[in-house]
Amino acid sequence: MLSADRKEGLELYLEKELDLRGPCRIRSEERMARGQSRAMYRLEIESEGAGRPERRSVVLRVEQWGLLGTESSQEVRVMRALHLAGYPVAEVLAYEPSSELLGQPFFVMEFVEGSCAFVREGLDEYVQTLHRLHGMDPEETGLGFLGHPEGRRGAALSQVERWYEVHRDAQVGEPSPLLEEAAQWLRNNAPESDRITIVHGDPGPGNYMQRDGRLACVVDWEFTHRGDPEEDWAYLISMRGMGVMDEDAWATYLRELVGVELDRDRLHYWKALNFFKGVCIDATALKIYLDRDNLAPNMLAIGTVVYLNALKRLAEAVAA
């Protein structure tokens, strides 16, 4: 919950940044359960406009000391560009890069009515929407700032090094031999990429919202980058979508729905890279906990139990 001082400061901030026509009051705040990388709050705000109260819902998305190796500035740029391009994302209303007001950087976005609870009947529309993302031109969409991997193997190698550095920065104690071996295996076996596209980075059930059986918006853009679209399909199959259907069924489904043909050797590599990514981002939670930046139990759980489970899956993938 927001302290009285922070609540008052946030009200003044919202009044200015949202260009409200009168004093802003936060009538209620609700911590949203989903999501780990950011603390999420639904705020009901009220302002006096033209002599009568005007109410609206917004979402406050607050950083948590670099949890999962991400920060908000790029996520905000991605969301704003995609929203302008007509892609289904919530509109970002304001971004505060400093920690002065809430102790961490944050941004405010429009509240989108819907549910993240997985409904099988809406999967087709989501997968088609993800496939549409892979077909969007980064330059025309305003996402040229994401850069372009160098070389034929750059899509894979750039991600290996990105997440390896996140793990090294968050490392507690001695380096993990399993992690080091896996990083080298991923470097040695990095495939060439024929296509470089916009990659969501965390796709699947839980990261899109539905309303009345239709897609309302796609959420969680902190891992978005330019890379190989197979990275997204592998993540969808082996991470968020693993409880929906098995790998063979996913391969058939993607081929029939959006014409994506998956090469199983390449798929195995991208699955291993996503397990590697999971290990590296989970490591950040333990450091945050031990540094006493955030002593919440979920930080300790992510940095220990979840981390070790991800490391086990990574070791099995490399051994295979």
For the cut 90, the answer to whether the pLDDT of residue 30 exceeds it is yes
Looking at residue 32, its pLDDT comes to 85
For the cut 70, the answer to whether the pLDDT of residue 49 exceeds it is no
Distance CA 216, CA 310 (A): 31
Partners of residue 59 on adjacent β-strands? 42, 109
Higher pLDDT, 183 or 39: 183
Tokens 């529309």 belong to residue: 125
| Residue 192 backbone class (left: φ over 0; alpha: ψ -120 to 50; beta: rest) | beta
How sure is the predictor about 21, in pLDDT bands with cuts at 50, 70 and 90? confident
Q: Which string of b and e fits 273-294 if b means at least 16 CB within 10 Å? A: bbbbbbbbbbbbbbbbbeeeeb
Q: Convert the pLDDT of each residue in 266-300 to its tens digit.
A: 999 999 999 999 999 999 999 999 999 999 899 99
Q: Looking at domain 4-110, which of 3.30.200.20, 3.10.20.30, 3.30.70.100, 2.30.30.180 is its CATH number?
A: 3.30.200.20
Bridge-based pairing of strands 52-63 and 92-96 is: unpaired
Q: CA Rg, the chain, in Å?
A: 20
Distance CA 109, CA 15 (A): 14
Looking at residue 202, its pLDDT comes to 95
**pTM score, whole prediction:** 0.94
* 198: nearest Cα among 222, 229, 161: 229
Looking at residue 54, its pLDDT comes to 84
Looking at residue 262, its pLDDT comes to 94
∠ Cα 76 77 82 (to 5°): 100
Give the number of other Cβ atoms within 10 Å of residue 84's Cβ.
12
SS3 195: coil
- The full set of domain ranges for the chain reads 4-110, 120-319
DSSP category for residue 146: G
CATH class of 120-319: alpha beta
Q: Where are the alpha helices (DSSP H) in 85-216?
A: 123-134, 138-141, 154-170, 177-188
> 38 — phi, psi (to 5°)?
-130, 150
Q: What average pLDDT does the chain have?
A: 93
SS3 83: helix
For the cut 60, the answer to whether the pLDDT of residue 34 exceeds it is no
Distance CA 158, CA 147 (A): 11
DSSP category for residue 305: I
Looking at residue 50, its pLDDT comes to 59
Looking at residue 3, its pLDDT comes to 87
Distance CA 234, CA 15 (A): 43
Distance CA 141, CA 32 (A): 30
Contact of 69 with 281, CB cutoff 8 Å? yes
Q: Convert the pLDDT of each residue in 205-261 to its tens digit.
A: 989 999 988 999 999 999 999 999 999 999 999 998 988 899 999 999 999 999 999
Q: Convert the pLDDT of each residue in 118-134 to its tens digit.
A: 778 889 999 999 999 99
